[in-house]
């Protein structure tokens, strides 16, 4: 990576825009690729649940506990790390996060008990907790005047990695067994090298952009505290609806398909890949559209558009089920980049903390949701759980009360 890519605007591309306001696309692409590698590795955990269920005789409650420990670790630590790095940036910590994830995967490959599985996934969760707030902060810093585009590009890397996880599980882990999980520690090594280059860019160029951005933000009148509190409170409600519904797919969709349609595990993993690919497509759409028409409109479109689809989903045969689930996933995913940038617009001086808070909430809500859904699945059955989850997006009606923040970029 060049130390100073695209920091001087061209006459055609960014006429009248300062170097600080230009979009440093190579840096955004690098953190997006780092996000892909990070989320590919962490998505191996839920994608490998059928293997662990068979080998360790786990029930749905225990599967939910694995998700709770894995994502709960990230939930607690991410906002704290984001708050700290807003004050004292640590771009080279990104490589340390990748190292923790790699160690966790090696430990998971050699786990011989349920307790060892929990310790291994906690290390993977720690790696993600370090990665997400700092990389999102750097993506915002490199975004210039296109924060929605940068956030979408950053997040689509993660969604692409998450989508690849079921394929990796289906064709590597499920066929070669638990020990093959350690092969993906090589992905962690590649991520460490890539993110070390991002750290060098920050120390050579990004730190100067940060000083200039903070100087510019000093002239911006903060939004009234009540507007910030109302916006953040409503975002949290929307995220509860979105991520509990989403985790019902990432953690349990394969089991639902195997139960409802009698699919083999590998076939169910391919269906999950189709769903997660649609989620990745939705993520790349949401941010740029939000730059053009406003974040609030994207959030409203996403939340209200999905409800009819989720209501009919549990009653559909296999192929329409996968198609409708994918369309719903695409629409729902388009909201999250808009949510992150919307929250950063509310609190522009604390972009790392805001990103850490939202990613942490996403992890935490998903963790608690997964644990709760696991208990429900054990008592009511996995098919009944999907009928109940169909109503979750109805919580999204609160989106109509979101305030219209002044966009500070």
Q: What is the domain count for the chain?
A: 1
DSSP readout, 306-353?
Answer: HHHHHHHGGGS-HHHHHHHHHHHHHHHHTHHHHHHHHHHHHSGGGHHH
Residue 206 lies in a domain: yes
pLDDT on residue 5: 40
CATH number at residue 260: 1.20.1250.20
Residue 182 lies in a domain: yes
Give the global pTM: 0.66
Confidence class for position 24, pLDDT limits 50, 70, 90: confident
| pLDDT tens digits, 176-187 | 888 999 999 999
pLDDT on residue 188: 93
pLDDT on residue 281: 84
More confident residue, 287 or 13: 287
Residue 164 lies in a domain: yes
Residue 4 lies in a domain: no
Domain around 248? 21-401
pLDDT on residue 122: 94
| pLDDT tens digits, 117-127 | 999 999 999 99
In this model, does residue 406 exceed pLDDT 60? no
Distance CA 253, CA 269 (A): 9
Residue 128 lies in a domain: yes
Q: Is residue 125 within 8 Å of residue 70, measured between CB atoms?
A: yes
Residue 352 lies in a domain: yes
Distance CA 22, CA 241 (A): 35
Residue 106 lies in a domain: yes
Q: Is residue 359 within 8 Å of residue 310, measured between CB atoms?
A: no
pLDDT on residue 293: 82
Residue 194 lies in a domain: yes
pLDDT on residue 90: 79
pLDDT on residue 32: 92
Indicate the helix (H) or strand (E) that contains 256: helix 225-261
In this model, does residue 14 exceed pLDDT 70? no
More confident residue, 54 or 143: 54
The burial class, CB within 10 Å (0-12 / 13-18 / 19+), for 190 is: middle
pLDDT on residue 18: 54
pLDDT on residue 289: 81
More confident residue, 286 or 385: 385
- Show the tokens assigned to 315: 């009653």
Name the nearest CA neighbour of 140 among 66, 31, 249: 31
pLDDT on residue 319: 95
Confidence class for position 407, pLDDT limits 50, 70, 90: very low
In this model, does residue 43 exceed pLDDT 50? yes
| pLDDT tens digits, 200-251 | 888 876 555 655 555 555 556 667 888 888 888 888 888 888 888 888 887 8
Tell me the mean pLDDT in the region 240-267.
87
């Amino acid at each position: 990576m060049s130390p100073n890519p695209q920091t001087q605007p061209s006459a055609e591309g960014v006429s009248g825009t300062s170097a600080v306001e230009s979009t440093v696309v190579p840096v955004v692409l690098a953190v997006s690729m780092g996000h892909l590698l990070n989320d590919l590795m962490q998505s191996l955990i839920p994608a490998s649940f059928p293997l662990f269920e068979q080998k360790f005789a786990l029930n749905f409650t225990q599967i939910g506990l694995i998700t709770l420990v894995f994502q709960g670790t990230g939930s607690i630590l991410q906002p704290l790390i984001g708050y700290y790095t807003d004050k004292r940036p640590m771009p080279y910590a990104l490589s340390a996060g990748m190292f923790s994830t790699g160690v966790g995967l090696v430990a998971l490959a050699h786990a011989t008990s349920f307790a060892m599985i929990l310790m291994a996934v906690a290390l993977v969760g720690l790696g993600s907790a370090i990665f997400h707030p700092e990389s999102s902060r750097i993506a915002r810093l490199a975004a210039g005047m296109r924060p929605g585009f940068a956030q979408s590009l950053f997040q689509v890397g993660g969604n692409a990695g998450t989508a690849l996880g079921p394929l990796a599980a289906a064709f590597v882990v499920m066929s070669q067994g638990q020990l093959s999980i350690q092969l993906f520690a090589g992905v962690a090594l590649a991520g460490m090298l890539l993110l070390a280059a991002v750290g060098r860019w920050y120390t050579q160029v990004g730190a100067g952009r940060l000083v200039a951005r903070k100087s510019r933000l000093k002239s911006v009148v903060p939004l009234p505290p009540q507007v910030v509190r109302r916006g953040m409170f409503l975002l949290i409600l929307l995220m509860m609806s979105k991520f509990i519904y989403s985790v019902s797919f990432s953690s349990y969709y394969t089991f639902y398909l195997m139960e409802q349609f009698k699919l083999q595990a590998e076939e169910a993993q391919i269906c999950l890949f189709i769903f997660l690919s649609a989620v990745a497509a939705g993520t790349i759409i949401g941010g740029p559209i939000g730059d053009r028409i406003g974040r609030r409109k994207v959030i409203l479109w996403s939340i209200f558009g999905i409800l009819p689809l989720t209501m009919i989903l549990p009653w559909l045969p296999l192929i329409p089920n996968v198609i409708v689930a994918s369309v719903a996933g695409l629409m729902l995913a388009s909201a999250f980049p808009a949510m992150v940038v919307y929250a950063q617009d509310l609190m522009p001086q604390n972009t790392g903390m805001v990103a850490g808070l939202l990613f942490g909430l996403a992890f935490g809500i998903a963790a608690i949701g997964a644990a709760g859904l696991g208990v429900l699945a054990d008592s009511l059955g996995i098919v009944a759980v999907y009928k109940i989850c169909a109503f979750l997006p109805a919580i999204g009606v609160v989106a109509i009360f979101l305030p219209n923040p002044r966009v500070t970029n």
